[in-house]
């Protein structure tokens, strides 16, 4: 099973980003724009977790989240992976006061470690907080997109929990979708 732990911005923050992106989507016909219902900030991604381990992973994330405080954040700016000259992914970044951003990075490390101890090895390189807005099947030059999207500075929001999602493959013409498995409060009880 493909699972991931993520922060999901509240509806108001997602709607603001959606309104900002809407008039710009038409200008990128080669881009596959991510449906707003799938927007999230990934803390840890595990590509192949046995079904029997998912409850253990959720419990481990709950313990990790309980030891952390809520985070005051906002979505802002833009970037591209792997890099602007050969991009496949466009994203908006996550901003906040330095203590919140340090806490966010620490939360990701703690969640990844908890997942690993629960038998689900996280993938990926160093944590770079972002929310993916578009993908491309072929590499593209993203500089003009970054100039257009980099001015985005969304409203503030408070991350109150970590959600564990199962990534479900698309079937019969339906795209991939994410099903929440559990939501674990930050600073809550494990």
Contact 149, 92 (CB under 8 A): yes
Task: Give the number of other CB atoms < 10 A from CB of residue 113.
Answer: 14
Cα gap 71→84, rounded to integer Å:
29
Distance CA 137, CA 147 (A): 21
Compute the chain's Rg from CA coordinates.
Answer: 16
Which of 71, 44, 47, 79 lies closest to 58, judged by CA?
44
Q: Strand 87-95 relative to strand 130-140: parallel, antiparallel, unpaired?
A: antiparallel
Annotated active-site residue in 74, 117, 128, 130: 130
130 is catalytic: yes
How many Å apart are CA 13 and CA 29, to the nearest integer?
Answer: 25
Name the catalytic one among 40, 74, 83, 177.
40
The three-class DSSP label of residue 46 is strand
Which residues are tagged catalytic?
Answer: 40, 130
């Amino acid at each position: 099973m493909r699972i991931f732990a993520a922060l999901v911005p509240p509806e108001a923050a997602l709607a603001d980003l959606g309104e900002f992106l809407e008039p710009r989507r038409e200008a990128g016909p080669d881009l596959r724009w991510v449906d707003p219902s799938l927007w999230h900030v990934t803390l840890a991604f595990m590509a192949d977790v046995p079904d029997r381990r998912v409850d253990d992973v959720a419990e481990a994330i709950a313990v990790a989240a309980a030891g952390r405080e809520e985070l005051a954040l906002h979505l802002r700016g833009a970037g591209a992976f792997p890099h602007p000259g050969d991009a496949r992914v466009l994203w908006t970044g996550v901003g906040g006061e330095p203590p919140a951003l340090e806490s966010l990075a620490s939360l990701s490390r703690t969640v990844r470690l908890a997942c690993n101890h629960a038998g689900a090895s996280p993938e990926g390189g160093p944590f770079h907080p972002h929310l993916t807005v578009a993908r491309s099947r072929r590499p593209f030059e993203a500089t003009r997109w970054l100039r257009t999207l980099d001015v985005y500075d969304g409203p503030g929001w408070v991350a109150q929990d970590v959600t564990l999602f199962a990534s479900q493959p698309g079937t019969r013409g339906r795209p991939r979708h994410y099903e929440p498995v559990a939501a674990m409060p930050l600073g809550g009880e494990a």
